[in-house]
Amino acid sequence: MDNILEVKDLAVSFQTFFGEVEAVRNISFNVERGKTIAIVGESGCGKSVTANSIMQLLPKPPAVYKNGEIVFNGENLLNKSESEMTKIRGNKISMVFQDPMTSLNPTMKVGKQIVEGVRKHRKISNSEGKKLAIDMLKLVSVPQPEKRINQYPHEFSGGMRQRVMIAIAMASKPELLIADEPTTALDVTVQAQILDLMKKLKDEMNTSIIIITHDLGVVADIADELAVMYAGQIIEKGKLNEIYYNTKHPYTKKLLASVPKINMDRNEELHSIEGSPPDLYIPPKGCSFYDRCDKAMRICEEHMPEFIDHGNGHCSACWLNHPQRVSKGGVE
């Protein structure tokens, strides 16, 4: 398998005044070249810390890499110096952030912002820069690109600004694009357009994509693989269809149940997951989902569930799926 990125046993903590927060706890996943993986979970589960760790954007301190490797094209990014990372960031790996209004420079014309990142990595003339900015706006389907390159971000709608963010990220033709909640601030119709656009870019430019989201509905159309995170850990991962139709972990089941269905009765209540995730200052000894799980057993409180391989790359960390429980009726 041709993996562009391999995250191996990564653990990231933050040293704070009150103690250490174990934000990411020994996670592993791969991104295949030209494929899309979605990292899904509630706020605070460690998704964005993972994305920012790949980009090496976390300030050290307070962030500390306690363990693991982030291998991009065969090289461990955790061993790179800041100047080496500057050559990779915005060039081979690009990122689209959640809020386009705060991520774009309000004082700089959009065309200049598209070319600015590319100029950091190679010399281009003014006319080449202008052509690149127009081509990128065309690629992301912004109408009248010749006129729009001379406008400022406040002259664009929310959806159009997110397209500009994607144009900036794609201008250097990155091998890996990380999109952190790229559609959260947008209405449903624009969300669908942005997701279609990302699919088109993946197909046309063979870019590998990591999409970070709290919304399982968003990824149904775009992701090849899913990694579900909870309390800093990956608790289920595998091919999208495997996870959607053969869900193994109680938390993933609850997440899926909370996605609104198109044929829902308008009086029907949306499912929510009661309770809140554990405090990562003092991570639980056993399963992190124990306090919220209606299937919890005695063993779950005391022992961290092992990662069980269900075949075809589908794995989950839940005692319910342990072979001994499945064959002998329980490990309680």
Q: How far apart are CA 91 and CA 128, in angstroms?
A: 17
Q: What count of Cα atoms within 13 Å lies in the side-chain half-sphere of residue 152?
A: 5
Q: How is residue 183 written in tokens?
A: 């559609």
State the minimum distance, in angstroms, from the CB of residue 288 to ligand SF4: 8
Q: Which one, 33 or 292, has the nearer CB to ligand SF4? A: 292
State the minimum distance, in angstroms, from the CB of residue 246 to ligand SF4: 16
Residues found near ligand SF4 in the complex (CB under 6 A): 250, 287, 289-290, 293, 295-297, 300, 305, 318-320
Q: How far apart are CA 180 and CA 219, in angstroms?
A: 12
Q: Which one, 66 or 322, has the nearer CB to ligand SF4? A: 322
Q: Which one, 58 or 273, has the nearer CB to ligand SF4? A: 273
State the minimum distance, in angstroms, from the CB of residue 236 to ligand SF4: 10
Q: Which one, 77 or 320, has the nearer CB to ligand SF4? A: 320
List helix spans (H) across the chain. Answer: 47-54, 82-88, 100-103, 110-121, 126-139, 145-148, 158-170, 188-205, 216-219, 240-245, 250-257, 298-302, 323-328
SS3 state of residue 258: coil
Burial class (CB in 10 A: 0-12, 13-18, 19+), 318: buried
Q: How far apart are CA 111 and CA 141, in angstroms?
A: 14
Q: Which one, 65 or 290, has the nearer CB to ligand SF4? A: 290
Please name the residue that has the structure tokens 């088109």: 200
- Dihedral in degrees, nearest 10, Cα atoms 124, 127, 130, 135: -90
State the minimum distance, in angstroms, from the CB of residue 289 to ligand SF4: 4
Q: Which one, 42 or 116, has the nearer CB to ligand SF4? A: 42
Q: How far apart are CA 89 and CA 160, in angstroms?
A: 24
Write the DSSP assignment of 25-41 as a string of letters. Answer: EEEEEEEETT-EEEEE-
Q: Which one, 72 or 319, has the nearer CB to ligand SF4? A: 319
State the minimum distance, in angstroms, from the CB of residue 1 to ligand SF4: 29
SS3 state of residue 168: helix
Non-local (6+) Cβ contacts of 196 within 8 A are none
Q: How far apart are CA 152 and CA 111, in angstroms?
A: 9
State the minimum distance, in angstroms, from the CB of residue 14 to ligand SF4: 25
Q: Which one, 19 or 275, has the nearer CB to ligand SF4? A: 275
State the minimum distance, in angstroms, from the CB of residue 293 to ligand SF4: 3
Residue 27, beta-bridge partner list: 10
Q: How far apart are CA 264 and CA 332, in angstroms?
A: 37
Q: Which one, 275 or 313, has the nearer CB to ligand SF4? A: 275
